[in-house]
């Protein structure tokens, strides 16, 4: 973040002061010396971003597929320089997908409509979560958003496992970037995504569901609402989608069998 000067207008007058705002930096993701994507992102957790992006995009299958990863500050931004096996690079080159991603861009550079709406990976795990667990998990995410506390201008994604708590949080000016960073962080944890929850502070679009499916989480819990295409994609992928999660409840859109609705938060409090 950076602190900048500002003038503040209110009904009772004008004052001067400072405000914390998030940095936004071009981040080039390169493979074997070739730039594949340039995304505008918060310049933090870049290694996790590079790993998570590579997994989400299907460029690699496991973290071990990246032979080396260096984060280099350059004059115009940051480069995440990765080297992958030649067979992986050959597949990547054949896709001819070069991206220039503005903030919040999740499908920039996709060359066909079919590629944009390709089916998400199937999630088959069937854990059951108490409804109140979603509320408790989301309540933990807010205090963990250090950058957002300072700026009130970034998105967050979190990973929660019952019995273990909130294991990872990622923040970024772009919601897709935040989720990619989280995917990268979780990939390096002793975690079991098939038993966990994905927490989002943003709206849920198709790309977010596709990334969640790559992560392998059976449940998405989001503060904001989903798009209709996200709902259809989650349904087909076997993912439980809960949105508009607040302290007093949430909306459940797909695969409700994973959520034990039981007593409402208000009923549980009264009891």
- Pick from 163, 173, 170, 174: which is nearest to 199 by CA? 170
Element (DSSP H or E) covering residue 6: strand 2-10
Active-site residue, 108 included: no
Q: What DSSP string runs through 90-157?
A: HHHHHHT--EEE-TT-SSTT--SHHHHTPPPPP------EEHHHHHHHHHHHGGG-HHHHHHS--EEE
Residue 22 CA, distance from chain mean position: 17
Contact between residue 1 and residue 134 where contact means Cβ atoms under 8 Å apart = no
Q: What angle do CA 4, 173, 106 make, to 5 degrees?
A: 155
Closest CA to 35 of 81, 87, 103: 81
Q: Which of 1, 71, 99, 105 is catalytic?
A: 105
Which residues are the active-site residues? 105
């Amino acid at each position: 973040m950076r602190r900048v000067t500002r003038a503040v207008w209110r009904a009772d007058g004008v004052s001067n002061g400072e405000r914390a705002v998030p940095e936004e930096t071009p981040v080039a993701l390169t493979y074997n010396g070739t730039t594949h994507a340039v995304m505008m992102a918060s310049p933090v957790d870049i290694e996790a971003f590079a790993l998570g992006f590579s997994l989400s995009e299907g460029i690699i299958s496991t973290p071990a597929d990246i032979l080396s990863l260096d984060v280099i500050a350059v004059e115009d931004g940051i480069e995440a320089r990765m080297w992958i096996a030649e067979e992986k690079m050959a597949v990547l080159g054949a896709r001819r997908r070069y991206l220039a991603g503005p903030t919040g861009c999740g499908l920039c550079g996709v060359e066909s409509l079919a590629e944009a709406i390709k089916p998400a990976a199937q999630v088959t795990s069937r854990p059951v979560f108490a409804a109140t667990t979603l509320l408790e998990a989301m309540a933990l995410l807010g205090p963990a958003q250090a950058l957002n506390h300072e700026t009130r201008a970034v998105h967050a994604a979190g990973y929660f496992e019952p019995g273990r708590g909130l294991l990872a949080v990622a923040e970024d000016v772009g919601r897709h970037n935040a989720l990619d960073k989280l995917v990268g962080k979780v990939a390096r944890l002793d975690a079991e995504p098939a038993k966990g929850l994905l927490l989002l502070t943003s709206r849920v679009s198709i790309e977010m569901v596709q990334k969640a499916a790559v992560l392998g989480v059976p449940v998405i819990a989001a503060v904001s609402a989903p798009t209709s295409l996200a709902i259809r994609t989650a349904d087909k992928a076997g993912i439980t989608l809960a949105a508009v999660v607040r302290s007093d409840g949430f909306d459940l859109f797909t695969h409700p069998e994973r959520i034990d609705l039981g007593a409402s938060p208000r009923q549980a409090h009264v009891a």
